[in-house]
Amino acid sequence: MLITIITFILVFGLIVLVHEFGHYYFAVRAGILVREFSIGMGPKVWWRRGKNGTTFTVRILPVGGYVRFAGDDDDDEEYLRPGSTVSITLNDNQLVKTIDVNQNNQLLQGIPVQVVDHDLTDDLFIAGYVNGDESEVKRFSVDHDAVIVEPDGTSVRIAPRDVLFQSASLGHRMLTNFAGPLNNFILSLVVFVILGFTLPGIPTGSNRLGNVQSAGPAARAGLVTGDRIISVDHHRVENWQELSQQVSAKPGKLVKVTYEHGNRKKTVSLKTTTATVNKQKVGRIGIEEELSKSPAARVKYGWNAFVQSGTLIFSVLGHMVTHGFNLNDFGGPVAMYAGTSQATHYGVNGVLAFLAALSINLGIVNLLPIPALDGGKLLLNIVEAIIRRPIPEKVEVVVTLIGFTILLLLMILVTYNDIQRYFVH
């Protein structure tokens, strides 16, 4: 269980880190201030503010994470409502450089101010009564790069107009919204390619033989590694799938096999053995598929696995559309944990395969046009491009809130269903 828990934290944490870094990277490139980059949820256990103004935090619950763009929240308005008391410090130019709203930890040498008015977006000022003197309202200009110390002690930059998410061009906002899922796709492809390099070899799919079992019918008939079977009972075979089908269909029977050995063509008769697969008898002659160890084959394997995994997810989504909604088609953190537990039984390769599949899964799901998901945000961007004007902020907030509520209810239902599936029954 301990190994599963550690693996789950590492796998899920890596996927979230890569996803959020995509949003972060393209936001910074677009001139958008990322106020906070958090790994985990809940109370913070560590934080540092970077040179570009982003506060990096690690939070106690190792599930999820987020980037907080300037303009994404109204926390500053809540902290600095009229009547609230804050502590400020000034820089050498007498501009406010720090606003501490944490009442339990006032700044050393800070000036206590009871807020009367403020604007940290355009005019950049804070006004109020100093040291409880209500006879005069003092106004302080705020530095563009000033920071706010939030109630939990986290220090983040203020959000002036020029660094707001909404102030970036539509193209930059779309790219920033798409970058998270894009990074999940890149991670999935890279891990699948790495997986290809960890395997002993990559099946070529050809009709050329790899390992020939020494005691099997093929070896007794004289076939060796490198021979190419061209027909079975006069049925021509062009690849491994056709070869496997012809042999499997003849359990315990005498068959004629024509093959090429070097430049010579030979025909031998041999009797297949019988094996049971999925309660059906199939024929075997003791041969294995040819494996390639070339870098090109390994990279191709990674790409094919990536495409197949994505195709499978789209098939599941298509099935949901055509056959109706079913909670068993979804999986939340409980299902991910159960999947991690299964993957750990197959060692490193099992974990890598699970990581790659989960990453592309989350990337595709995040692109669904549901408000509160990246796909929903992209849909609003597309609407904005069509109507050629920004969507009213109130409309966007309401739509996002509705989407978030639906997702929250769905997550509760999915989690309950997962618990019933994996731990009750």
CA distance 270 to 272: 7
Which member of 20, 36, 150, 290 is catalytic? 20
Tokens 């009442």, residue located? 103
Contact present, 65 and 20 (Cβ < 8 Å): yes
Q: How many helices (H) and strands (E) does the chain have?
A: 10, 18
Q: In a 3-state reduction of DSSP, which class is residue 264?
A: strand
Distances (CA, A) of 257 to 204, 224, 235, 254, 270: 21, 13, 9, 10, 8
Alpha-carbon separation of residue 266 from 300, 360, 405 (angstroms): 33, 47, 70
d(CA 365, CA 183): 13
Task: Using alpha carbons, select from 277, 292, 299, 300 the residue that is nearest to residue 240.
Answer: 292
Beta-carbon count within 10 A of 193 CB: 19
Residue 238 annotated in active site: no
Structure tokens given for 78? 């809540």
Place of tokens 């009871």: 114
Q: Which residues contact 170 (CB under 8 A, 6 or more apart)?
A: 381, 384, 385
How many residues are listed for the chain in this entry? 425
The HSE-up count of residue 385 (CA atoms within 13 Å, CB side) is: 12
Q: How far apart are CA 172 and CA 184, in angstroms?
A: 19
Give the whole-angstrom CA distance, residue 407 versus residue 410: 5
Give the other-Cβ count within 10 Å of 51's Cβ: 5
Q: CA-to-CA distance for 244 and 290, rounded, in angstroms?
A: 13
Tell me the catalytic residues.
Answer: 20
